[in-house]
Structure 1
Amino acid sequence: MTHDVLIAGAGPVGLFLACELRLAGASVLVLEQAEEPGSPLKRLPFGLRGLSAPTLEAFHRRGLLDEVAALQGGRSGAPAPHWAGQARRPGGHFAGIQFLQDDVDPSTWPYRLPSPAGVSLAVDMEGLETVLALRAAALGVEIQRGFTVEAVEPSDDGVVVRAGDATFHGGWLVGCDGGRSTVRKVCGFDFIGTDPEFTGYSVEVELADPEALPPGRHYTPTGMFTYARPGTIAMTDFDGGAFHRTQPATLEHVQAVLRRVSGVDVVVTGLRQATTWTDRAFQATAYRKGRVLLAGDAAHIHSPLGGQGLNLGLGDAMNLGWKLAATIRGDAPGGLLDSYFAERSPAGAQILDWSRAQVALMRPSPSSRALEAVIRDLIATRDGATYFAERVWGVSLRYGLGDDHPLVGRSAPDFELTDGTRLGVLLRSGRGLLLDFEAQTSLQDLSDGWIGRINYVAGEARNRLGLSAVLVRPDGVVAWAGEGGLDPDAFAAAASQWFGDGAARRR
């Protein structure tokens, strides 16, 4: 059997991409090397991930937000977050330096409206995968586990994937198989970047004296550690990444590193879980080679500082899904699939640099500690907190779509119509949306040329931000914003750019 798309990897990115493709009518097979879903490491408290505004908006626009929000706080028994008990709740951090939600000035983002999506949410990774796997199955996505991609044979009209003794045929292949992506390697994608400065550890231990370490995050002359009682610890050892993936992290090794980094002669009496990571920051120079594409960590890797990697990958999936599906259907305009790399590569490069900047602040050197003091002063100001919030929460993301209107290229505001319907709900079909606040007959006539690709909805909004109409792509990005009198040529040009040529008008 030949599927429209084969996806390597059943992590959150692969599963969400599969959902997007299936919603748009493509047949999808996901191949996952793990025999069973889930991982003990994903159940660690450090397995919690912060979802940013673009991710939460994407889930809102696909009807997944309530299920994902139910995962808030992670698994039962996880230690309280570092901000627990504080009078003012932190909104995020940069290299461990927190900014406070009360200090953020949202008035600097005039094109954002109140939305159920919010701007941040901590969820359990294993739970998120479960939610996405259930949605994928409900949509008819086929998931086969226990298959490790070993060879890829692309051609002009399809891709053959070999996994052990099995062979799979697809029109397209998307590698969502992680930072050590087999798809990326066997297909010859160039992967460039900067080598690691440290080995990071996320461990769950038993300590002879749980009170020996102070809770919270601490920078030391030899590294950094974060301690959440009774025994959850993250630490960085500036060894150039020498230990990562070279040998198992034994109790004795973890104790030695913890003593060196913390400066405290702690005694580790038990090691429950341990994983290592580094700040290696690499990115593919192309996200597509013929009928093979990359998404998520397969396309870009960086340290987990700030927890933005998952959001970056889910953003890839939301951006790619509708474009690849339109290409498969044959109604995609020229260059649509190429816009995936054009839009997402700069977003990835920005996150990699954001990660590198945090590493520079974490180095165990007097200059880094001096720089840290400067950043602390800045982040404590209203302008500073707002700047860091818009970067960490992802609200500053904007694609360059060639239109000067300040809303074009940004995530669409969650307009609420007077009947209570929200824009996010109107996007759940996975099609584009033309929201006409003035019920202009001429605009509806024009939109008829894209029936089946663009849904037309007319209705007054409680706050339309001075617009008369707005055209939104399936991924929730504004493609055209109309103000004042209708410019039919501008609308038609935007519709054609993203949805292909319009058919003859029916009216």
Structure 2
Amino acid sequence: MNRDVVISGGGPVGLMLACELRLAGVDVLVVERLPEPDQTIKAGSVNLTTAEAFYRRGLLPAMDAVVQQNFAQIQKFLESRGGGPKAVPVGHFAGIMVTSDGVDFADPAFRDVGPAARVVVIQQQAVEAILAGRAAELGVEIRRGVEFTGFDADDDGVTVHLGDRETVRAGWLVGADGGRSFVRKQAGFAFPGTDPAITGRQALTELTGADALPAGWQHGPGGLYVHGPTPGRVLTVEFDGPPEDRDAPVTAQEIEDSFRRVSGADVRVTKLHSATRFTDNARQASTYRRGRVLLAGDAAHVHSPFGGQGLNLGIGDAVNLGWKLAATVHGWAPDGLLDTYTTERHPIGEWVLEWTRAQVALMRADVRTQALRRVVGDLLHTGDGATYLAKKLSGVLHRYPIEGEHDLTGRAAPDFAFADGSRLGEHLHDGKALLLDLADDAGLRETASGWAGRVNVLTAKCDSEPALTGVLVRPDGHIGWAREDGSTADLEAAMHRWFGTPA
């Protein structure tokens, strides 16, 4: 076979997956149709679980510089509008903003968050550029400007057709090629869901006549609009159905007309730097795997961008799939490991689709919906409501269906602080699993010795609550086993479950 894995799609999800595979020694080829990265305005932030994934791979320093630059731009824009907010926004639900001063960050769900919490406001293009740089460092071959024209899958692998004449034989094919995924369609994945009912537009512009408009999400006579929080950024939502031609170029006149309809303001768009349309089309593949073909990111699920969950969902797919596919390529994956990709990620995709559908329902302008919106707004501005929203948006409540006695099993690992001054995330840069020996237990280390090379062992002191004695952290940062009583019961079973037969 020419390659272990071919990934169709060189956006953030495809690149993150490629990095995960290369860390595990997999020969991977990324094929991207576009000759250059797409600079169209897209996601402008990531949530905590995505930031933690980057942190665990040593990517925070590169992202910090971008984040600081973004904060400076936002502050400048807010000062031009009469000053900044008294508290930092943590997110919104259907345009109802919630700020950090109402959130109880002492909630156990936020314990031991670590430095990933500071990486939030970063554009998707910046994420993609950083991941592309890391992929190049790791030796990933990325072929841009190459058309993916088809494939033939069988029990032993996939023959991929590129351009007019080239073929590549691979063990596995992953479609990370967006919401209109060619891979998903040709492989025959079912893609059920709900049809679109709105047209949204987002743009980076130069405009006049908007200085008097309030910042943040606003209801206007024709829909919803947002101006800011960065200079020239506008967003509109209209409830007159999907666009007639989704593929037609977005013009400055279209953005101006939409902004005028929803705001009622006499605005003029004098220059258009970047613009896109979106709808609330919400669909999800019924499974993320068919034989040797897998899906990740928007290829597996599409939805409106409200709440900013799309990029986060795709990065979560990549880090969950990467180590499992690598284990399968190397031949040590236990039975059923690759199928847990769908088992674990599909429910989170379902939640995101429901979350975005609910927001569209609450954005409507009829009097009944507006009455409901005021009730929901009152609830979200209570301490419990604000904390609930922050936990949902951050991803800290996501839990995989992993059997185990301890409450932490299946959850993302807290960023434990160790006595030597290091933190957990710093020990996960190599992409391997990590068994924490927190009670200097020779028996625990002996149990793990058969999986050397697949699972690292760290003996350390840690002041955690509860007082843990042993924790098995999978390569994706989720906990596969934990104890606080000094026992190694079920550890060997957990090692077999996730890392196969001992070498």
Report the TM-score when normalising by structure 1: 0.93
Q: Which residue of 1 aligns with 2:58?
A: 63
Q: Could you tell me which amino acid in structure 1 is paired with residue 111 of structure 2?
A: R
Gaps of 5+ in 2: none
1:368 is the counterpart of 2:369: yes
1:392 counterpart residue number? 393
Following the alignment from structure 1 to structure 2, what is the Cα–Cα distance between the partners of residues 354 and 76?
27
Alpha carbons 2:109, 2:396 under 8 Å: kept: no
Higher deviation after alignment, 261-270 or 347-356: 261-270
Write out aligned runs for 1:96-245 (5 A).
Answer: 96-109=95-108, 112-118=111-117, 121-165=120-164, 166-211=166-211, 213-228=213-228, 231-243=232-244, 245=246
Return the alpha-carbon distance in structure 2 between the equivalents of residues 296 and 50 of structure 1.
16
Looking at structure 1, the residues matched to 270 and 66 of structure 2 have their Cα atoms a distance apart, in angstroms, of: 32
Equivalent residue number for residue 435 of structure 1: 436
Output the amino acid matched with 1:178: G
Instruction: Single out whichever of 206-215 and 441-450 deviates more from structure 2.
Output: 206-215
Give 2:288's aligned amino acid: Y
Aligned residue type for 2:292: R
In structure 2, what is the Cα distance between the partners aligned to 1:125 and 1:455?
32
Give CA-to-partner distance per residue, 1:296-329, whole Å, 9 cap, x none. 0000011111111000000000000000000011
- 1:174 to 1:248, Cα distance in 2 relative to 1, 3 A: same
The answer on whether the counterparts of 1:191 and 1:284 sit within 8 Å (CA) in structure 2 is: yes
Residue 294 (structure 1) aligned with residue 295 (structure 2): yes
Instruction: Indicate the residue corresponding to 1:10 in structure 2.
Output: 10
8 A contact 1:74–1:123 mirrored in 2: no
Distance 1:119 1:313 in 2: 20
Distance 1:111 1:126, change over 3 A: closer
Quick one: percent identity of the two aligned structures? Answer: 49
Mapped to 2, the partners of 1:493 and 1:245 lie a distance apart of 51
Structure 2 distance, partners of 1:111, 1:266, is: 42
Q: Deviations over 1:335-381 (max 9, x none)?
A: 00000000000000001111111111111211221121111111111
Spell out, residue by residue over 1:56-101, the C-alpha distance to the aligned partner (whole angstroms, 9 max, x if none).
Answer: 1111111111112222156699555669611222211112212121
Aligned partner of 1:316: which letter?
D
Distance 1:79 1:458, change over 3 A: closer
Judging changes above 3 Å, is the alpha-carbon distance between structure 1 residues 420 and 246 closer, same or farther for their aligned structure 2 residues? closer
Gaps of 5+ in 1: none
Bigger mean CA offset, 189-198 vs 86-95: 86-95
Distance 2:400 2:97 in 1: 28
Letter in 1 for 2:86: A
Relative to 1, partners in 2 of residues 1:361 and 1:440: Cα closer, same or farther, differing over 3 Å? Answer: same
| Structure 2 CA distance for aligned equivalents of residues 410 and 419 of structure 1 | 25
The aligned counterpart of 1:322 is: 323
Distance 1:199 1:243 in 2: 10
1:415–1:464 Cα contact (<8 Å) kept: no
1:31 is aligned to 2:31: yes
Q: Does the Cα contact within 8 Å between 1:398 and 1:409 map onto a contact in 2?
A: yes
Aligned to 2:46: 51
- Supply the AA of the counterpart residue of 1:159: V
Name the residue aligned to 2:351: 350
How many residues are treated as equivalent by the alignment? 497
TM-score under structure 2 normalisation? 0.94
- Determine the C-alpha separation between the residues in 2 that align with 1:140 and 1:390: 37
Q: Deviation string for 1:452-480 (max 9, x for gaps)? A: 11111112113363111111111111001
Amino acid at match of 2:92: H
Q: What secondary structure does 2:192 align onto?
A: strand
Aligned-partner SS, 2:34: coil
Q: Distance in 1 between matches of 2:234 and 2:110?
A: 40
Aligned to 1:500: 500
| Closer, same or farther: CA 494–254 of 1 in aligned 2, 3 Å | same
Taking the aligned partners of 2:62 and 2:452, their CA distance within structure 1 comes to 31
Q: Does residue 81 of structure 2 align to residue 86 of structure 1?
A: no
Aligned partners of 2:109 and 2:391 also within 8 Å: no
Residues 499/246 of structure 1: CA separation in 2 closer, same or farther (3 Å cut): closer
1:306-321 paired onto structure 2 within 5 Å: 306-321=307-322
C-alpha separation between the residues in 2 aligned to 1:278 and 1:227? 19
Q: 1:400-411 alignment to 2 at 5 Å?
A: 400-411=401-412
In structure 1, the partner of 2:19 is: 19
Cα distance in structure 2, aligned partners of 1:232 and 1:298: 27
Residue pair 2:35, 2:144 contacting (<8 A) in 1 also: yes
Q: After the TM superposition, which of the residue ranges 423-432 and 10-19 deviates more from structure 2?
A: 423-432
1:213 shift after superposition: 3.7
Report deviation, 1:450.
1.1
Contact kept? 1:199, 1:244, Cα under 8 Å? no
Which letter does structure 2 place at the counterpart of 1:54? T
Structure 2: distance between partners of 1:14 and 1:282: 20
Q: CA deviation at 1:221?
A: 3.9
Amino acid at match of 2:284: Q
Q: C-alpha separation between the residues in 1 aligned to 2:268 and 2:102?
A: 40
Alignment check: 8 A CA contact 1:74 1:124 kept: no
